[in-house]
């Protein structure tokens, strides 16, 4: 039986979030050997080879499987859009300790961290982060490039729009619909639908209203 050798992995972005992802790959038996970033990092805990800025080293990246290790939803999406047209789709980063239902559906460039639980009939879009010990219960739908933080709990049938952020230990009641570009603060308990472009905090969740900044003129 012929065995197909996997390419080594190159990561795009190399800081705290990336350290978690490198560890996921290592635990999954993948070899991570290189990174791309705007500049070479002084701190290099995994002794990776610096390739350069990703847009400048497209030909080199074709030798690797790649993954965008950037927590910011918008930047992560831009990396996917730029690189996929030249070198194909990113791989997924899935920790062996994650529990993922066989009936769950998953896009590309997805991170599933240690002890995350993805229950039956969940749909996870492209570039989604399901961080450490997060729980995505039955029939939830997570839109492209959203970020589910450590310990967050999404009860059944929750729908999260595109490029939204669910903070650490937030709890979303069953059946809730969360719009696009929503920010839900750490520890927030969401019991009502959240419209697009809204930031909520607290228990129960309330909209965060930014106070206008007054210009104080010197006397």
CA atoms within 13 A of residue 90's CA, in its CB half-sphere: 27
Say if strands 159-160 and 206-207 run parallel, antiparallel, or are unpaired.
unpaired
Whether the model clears a pTM of 0.75, i.e. scores above it, the answer is yes
Distance, in Å, from the CA atom of 12 to the CA atom of 114, rounded to the nearest integer, reads: 20
Average model confidence (pLDDT) for the chain?
94
Helix, strand, coil fractions of the chain, as percent rounded to 5: 15, 25, 60
Query: Looking at residue 55, what DSSP letter applies?
Result: G
Residue 218: pLDDT band with limits 50, 70, 90:
very low
CB atoms within 10 A of CB 151: 18
Q: Give per-residue pLDDT as tens, 75-129.
A: 999 999 999 999 999 999 999 999 999 999 999 999 999 999 999 999 999 999 9
Say if strands 206-207 and 199-201 run parallel, antiparallel, or are unpaired.
antiparallel
pLDDT for 214: 58
Domains for the chain: give ranges and CATH numbers: 9-91 (3.40.50.20), 92-204 (2.160.10.10)
């Amino acid at each position: 039986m012929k065995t197909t050798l996997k390419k080594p992995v190159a990561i795009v972005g190399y800081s705290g979030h990336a350290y978690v992802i490198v560890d996921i790959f290592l635990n999954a038996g993948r070899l991570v050997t290189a990174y791309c970033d705007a500049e070479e990092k002084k701190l290099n805990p995994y002794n990776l080879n610096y390739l350069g800025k990703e847009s400048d080293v497209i030909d080199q990246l074709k030798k690797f499987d790649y993954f965008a290790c950037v927590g910011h939803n918008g930047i992560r999406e831009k990396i996917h859009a730029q690189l996929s047209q030249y070198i194909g789709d990113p791989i997924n980063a899935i920790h062996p300790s994650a529990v993922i239902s066989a009936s769950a559906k998953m896009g590309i460039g997805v991170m599933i961290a240690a002890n995350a639980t993805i229950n039956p009939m969940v749909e996870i879009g492209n570039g989604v982060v399901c961080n450490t010990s997060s729980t995505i219960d039955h029939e939830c739908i997570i839109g492209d490039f959203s970020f589910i933080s450590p310990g967050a709990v999404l009860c059944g049938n929750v729908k999260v729009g595109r490029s939204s952020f669910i903070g650490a230990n937030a709890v979303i009641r069953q059946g809730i619909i969360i719009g696009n570009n929503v920010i839900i603060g750490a520890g927030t308990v969401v019991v009502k639908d959240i419209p697009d472009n809204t930031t909520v905090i607290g228990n129960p969740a309330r909209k965060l209203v930014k106070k206008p900044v007054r210009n104080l003129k010197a006397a």
